[in-house]
């Protein structure tokens, strides 16, 4: 049964919140106002579905009364058909309400910063970093997101030791968050002359974009170094100190950026990544605390966990968290990963329901 008292309390909270949002003092508090707006949107959706559910209950009562009092066989059959339809709609509404009552992650609506790094496997791992970057680029294009390159470190054969980019668009972090972890690839490397299959690994970290109001960083906690760019970058390479390295002294986190010719732009990009890493570190700490009291099957907290294997000889991709396998590896690498992402989101939400 639905928690009717809780739903009625949420309706009352929505009415109270509606009054607060017109208060100039509340509007002046940027962070607080944003949180209230997020909560208002959440409650508004729950309230609308709760109102629909109650209206369907009234209609069912009317159809049941008509069925009990109607003597005409044809009208009775119509009333029975209407009742079946209404009961089906009521079940669907209840499922949606239960889903809406699961607390949403306030970071889901944020843009996503994605970091892909080569692990074991040398040049082959670096080439797979490039494959995953293209895969996420295609997926972002399908979703209508904007991709912004933040930093990269290329290798000689066209791979990347590391690439960092931002995905700007609706629910980018909410959809991409489950890509965090170790991605394993099994294939014959281009550098392998004997035709043996090698196994390499790449790590993916997906961070919610952090705004200045999310993470407060003191200038005294930063050490900023500048140096000359290396690799591709036009005429400015090795002629100006445009590359930036920022060290966050309290945590030891180091961020570098040399993608832009301007030192100012590189510093701004590096600060964006630093803020997101600090926010992600806090999120991971909270998730580890939760995970210590239960065994989570779908998690974004453990970045060292092997989450997926891409087997080229068998054209197979398997997600180990939910035991989901596809034999269309080419399509998967072409950005058709939505089936896996949605399955992971459903599994995660089911865990939340069980909690």
Position 291 scores a pLDDT of 52
pLDDT (average), residues 21-40? 85
pLDDT, tens only, 186-213: 998 876 666 788 899 999 999 888 766 5
* Total residues found in the chain within this entry: 355
Of 44, 72, 100, which marks where a domain is finished?
Answer: 100
Distance CA 235, CA 315 (A): 42
Distance CA 335, CA 329 (A): 10
Radius of gyration of the chain (CA): 26
Label residue 254 left, alpha or beta by phi (over 0 means left) and psi (-120 to 50 means alpha).
Answer: beta
Q: Which two tokens stand for residue 61?
A: 């009562």
Q: Is residue 107 part of a domain?
A: no
Predicted confidence band of residue 7 (pLDDT cuts 50, 70, 90): very high
pTM flag (> 0.75): no
Residues 205, 302 within the same domain: yes
Q: What is the CATH number of the domain that holds 30?
A: 1.20.58
Strand ranges of the sheet holding 181-187, from the earlier edge strand across to the other edge: 146-154, 160-168, 112-118, 198-208, 181-187, 306-311, 316-319, 324-326
Measured CA angle at 354 (ends 352, 355), to 5 deg: 65
Predicted confidence band of residue 72 (pLDDT cuts 50, 70, 90): confident
% residues pLDDT > 70 (the chain): 88
More reliable by pLDDT, 182 or 76: 182
More reliable by pLDDT, 45 or 73: 45
Residues 250, 338 within the same domain: no
Residues 183, 41 within the same domain: no
Residues 268, 317 within the same domain: no
Residues 275, 318 within the same domain: no
pLDDT beyond 80 at 285: no
Do strands 253-257 and 243-248 pair parallel, antiparallel, or not at all (unpaired)? antiparallel
Strand ranges of the sheet holding 253-257, from the earlier edge strand across to the other edge: 222-227, 243-248, 253-257
Q: Taking Cα atoms as reference points, which of 194, 203, 190 lies closest to residue 161?
A: 203
Of 78, 100, 122, which marks where a domain is finished?
Answer: 100
pLDDT, mean over the chain: 85
Position 139 scores a pLDDT of 97
Residues 306, 244 within the same domain: no
Q: Which two tokens stand for residue 58?
A: 């009234």
Of 69, 100, 131, which marks where a domain is finished?
Answer: 100
pLDDT beyond 60 at 355: no
pLDDT (average), residues 259-280? 85
Q: Is residue 52 part of a domain?
A: yes
Per the listing, tokens 């200045």 go with 212
- Host domain of residue 346: 112-210+296-354
Predicted confidence band of residue 269 (pLDDT cuts 50, 70, 90): confident
% residues pLDDT > 90 (the chain): 43
Number of compact structural domains in the chain:
3
Q: Where are the beta strands (DSSP E) in the chain?
A: 112-118, 146-154, 160-168, 181-187, 198-208, 222-227, 243-248, 253-257, 306-311, 316-319, 324-326
Q: Is residue 290 part of a domain?
A: no
Q: Is 58 exposed, middle or buried (0-12, 13-18, 19+ CB in 10 A)?
A: exposed
Q: Is residue 311 part of a domain?
A: yes
Question: 185: number of CA atoms within 13 Å, CB side?
Answer: 25
Residues 80, 181 within the same domain: no
pLDDT beyond 70 at 299: no
Q: Is residue 148 part of a domain?
A: yes
Q: Is residue 251 part of a domain?
A: yes
Residues 302, 203 within the same domain: yes
Position 233 scores a pLDDT of 44
Residues 35, 150 within the same domain: no
Residues 193, 314 within the same domain: yes
Q: 54: Cβ–Cβ under 8 A, 6 or more apart, which residues? A: none
Whole-number Cα distances in Å, 294 to 99, 168, 211, 298: 21, 33, 31, 12
Residues 206, 117 within the same domain: yes
Predicted confidence band of residue 237 (pLDDT cuts 50, 70, 90): very low
Residues 199, 151 within the same domain: yes
More reliable by pLDDT, 210 or 161: 161
Q: What is the CATH number of the domain that holds 262?
A: 3.30.160.20
Distance CA 316, CA 128 (A): 15
pLDDT (average), residues 118-142? 94
């Amino acid at each position: 049964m639905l928690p009717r008292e809780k739903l009625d309390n949420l309706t009352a909270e929505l009415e109270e919140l509606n009054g607060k949002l017109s208060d100039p003092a509340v509007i002046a508090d940027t962070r607080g106002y944003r949180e209230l707006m997020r909560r208002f949107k959440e409650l508004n959706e729950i309230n609308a579905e709760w109102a629909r559910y109650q209206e369907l209950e009234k209609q069912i009562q009317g159809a049941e009364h008509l069925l009990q009092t109607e003597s005409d066989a044809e009208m009775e059959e119509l009333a029975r058909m209407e009742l079946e339809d209404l009961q089906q709609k009521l079940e669907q509404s209840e499922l949606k309400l239960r889903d809406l009552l699961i607390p949403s992650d306030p970071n889901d609506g944020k843009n996503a910063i994605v970091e892909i790094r080569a692990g074991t496997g040398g040049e082959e791992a670096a080439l797979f970093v490039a494959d995953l970057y293209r895969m996420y680029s295609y997926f972002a294009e399908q979703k209508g997101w904007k991709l912004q390159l933040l930093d990269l470190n290329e290798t000689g054969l066209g791979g990347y030791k590391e690439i960092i980019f931002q995905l700007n668009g609706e629910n980018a972090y909410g959809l991409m968050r489950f890509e965090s972890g170790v991605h394993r690839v099994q294939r014959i490397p281009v550098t392998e002359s004997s035709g043996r299959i090698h196994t390499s690994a790449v790590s993916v970290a997906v961070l919610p974009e952090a705004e200045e109001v999310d993470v407060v960083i003191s200038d005294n906690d930063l050490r900023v170094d500048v140096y000359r760019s290396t690799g591709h970058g036009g005429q400015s390479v090795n002629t100006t100190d445009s590359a930036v390295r920022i060290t966050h002294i309290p945590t030891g986190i180091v961020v570098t950026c040399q993608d832009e010719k301007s030192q100012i732009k590189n510093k701004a990009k590096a600060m964006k990544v630093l803020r997101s890493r600090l926010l992600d570190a806090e999120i991971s700490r909270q998730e580890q605390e939760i995970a210590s009291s239960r065994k989570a099957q779908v998690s974004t907290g453990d970045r060292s966990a092997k989450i997926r294997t891409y087997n080229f000889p068998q054209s197979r991709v398997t997600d180990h968290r939910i035991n989901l396998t596809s034999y269309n590896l080419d399509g998967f690498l072409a950005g058709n990963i939505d089936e896996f992402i949605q399955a992971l989101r459903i599994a995660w939400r089911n865990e939340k329901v069980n909690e």
